[in-house]
Chain A
Amino acid sequence: MSTEVALHNTPLVEEHIALGAKMVGFGGWNMPLQYEGILAEWEHNRKTCSIFDCSHMGEFMVQGDAIQSGLDGIVTQRIADMPVKTCRYGTMLNEEGGVIDDLIIYRKAPQEWMMVVNAAHREKNAKNFKNHLTSPANFKDISFETAKLDLQGPLSRDILKTLVPDIAQLEYYTFDEFVLLGQKCLISRTGYTGELGYEIYYPWEKSKELWRRILKNDKVNPTGLGVRDVLRIEMCYSLYGHELSEEISPLQAGLDKFIDFEKDFIGKQALLKQKAQGHHHRMGYFISDSRRSPRAGHRILDLSGNPVGRVTSGTFSPALQRGIGLGFIEAGKNNIGSKISFGDEKTIVSAVISQRPFYKNGSLKH
């Protein structure tokens, strides 16, 4: 007898299993953790090109004027001035200023928007939109008809160009509609790896053909969520449930530049209050003095051994050949160059607070 809740499958689950992926439950979905191994997949992504199945992520459509629809007031990023065919990252908050989710908004037309949200909180997010949009009828969840394949790595443009010649003109954080293997689809130049890359929103039932076609190119390897996490930690990108939650404000999480204080949005008053009072803890980024790596939940200590924070994400960094971590650290103990340590009751490891990102040589904006 199993008490586990059934996991959703992406349209590519059989492909992953056939390729020998180690599968894992993530955000309610049955997802590939790794194929060849995290280090090999890291190497391939940073130097060549990887494909990720991100069909678990949620996609919502909203129709209407930015302001009148209520959309602008739900999210922290400014959307009214977004040019069509651009995307913008931001968050949506509760009244207390805590993060309901982080999301990217795509402006498809002056009055047509697509939001991409995390898989685990799709239903919670949908509810939040429907509750706060002027008319819930303008909202549509297209998650289960939309597959999402991420092609990421320095060679991704050259590889995608062989299937979509016009892709070369796409600039960072812009998108367009293209015809790919006979299917109309949306492709954005976005990603979560720090490398040049594309996110392809493709018809769910046709995605297997696209996956197979892209993998026919021997420069492309399939890549799992394990290395995706390593890549995003090297870039200091937040992951909901780690750096972000309903108890954490985007200011604490270091996402200040994705908040537009010139407009009204849910949670703004709480954020203004936080700004006035200052923060006890803020996101810090640190590098281990050794290969020993911080892990989520580890304590962070100052030089005298006093607890000053908590690790939210940690990993071994193949780029630095050191452990790296993200965590909330007390104000005053969080200055770049400050020495700290991290660990649990068994092991304490020295580290130093660093600038973000840890990985600076990516092809992201090439």
Chain B
Amino acid sequence: MTEYAIKQLLAGVAVLFVVVTATFFLIQAAPGRLSILADPTLDPSVAAAIERRLGLDQPVAVQYVRWMSNIAQGDLGRSLVFNRPVMQMIVERLPATLLLGFTALLITVLVGIPSGIVAARWPNSLLDQALSFASILGLATPNFWLGILLIILFSVQLGWLPGAGMQTIGQPFSVLDRLSYLVLPAVVLATSTTAELMRYTRSSWLEAINQDFVRTARSKGLVESRVHGKHIMKNALIPVLTILGLTLPRLVGGAAIIESLFSWPGIGSMAVNAAIGRDTPLILGTTIFVAVAVIVSNLLIDLLYGAIDPRIRFD
């Protein structure tokens, strides 16, 4: 187990190193200068000041070492637009993103896994076909478009739910109020991941059905509900854990669009605004932060996976 854990950890660190290096060269390889500096209306002395602040007047090797050591110390630089440390801005907005992300993850798991199991329990039934159709739609729908449609329906036409923001202005915080703002973005964010998880659960379940221990369980005379509820469940759901790890990047990436659409004050909408405002340190810092967060979560999932399923450690 220890050897497996160390291997996973090293791989995680290597990927982080590559991502951080890649972001560095992304700036270095920019055509001519940073696009914010290419603005012809910008005063040359201001441009020079920005270059000096970003250390762009130093040799590449010096810049690279500084970039790496700053990030290793948790320093992601300062925002050009807000003149504040990027890390501080991320920490401020992180709770909103975590709330939205975890709610969407909860919806994904609570809807995706049961519906996948139901589809696999009665394969090719009408229900299975309906669910499969729903998952094809879920994977092909642009989530922001679904968001627009739901805002038009529930906020504009029916007036049941708010379509933007995180709480009613001028009112004290209440759970019910927060939930009313959370429902639409969380549901929209969870659509494609739910569809994906359902598909995966279904095929994982169908694969488990054909294994020897299932035949043994049946030949012992176990009722079908017990075969499914106990023997298949245990074996089918372990691989589902991996796909859950793979849905994290999709969830986080989707959060950028969905937060913007719903004016949700998290790091996703901050990143989009930074990209629109050409605030390079802010967008790069957020990207690196998000990459670290997702890679660390995947690492934890891998370790958990190794602990639950001994087969994986000796792969």
Q: Does A associate with B in a complex? A: no
Chain A residues within 8 Å of B, Cβ to Cβ: none
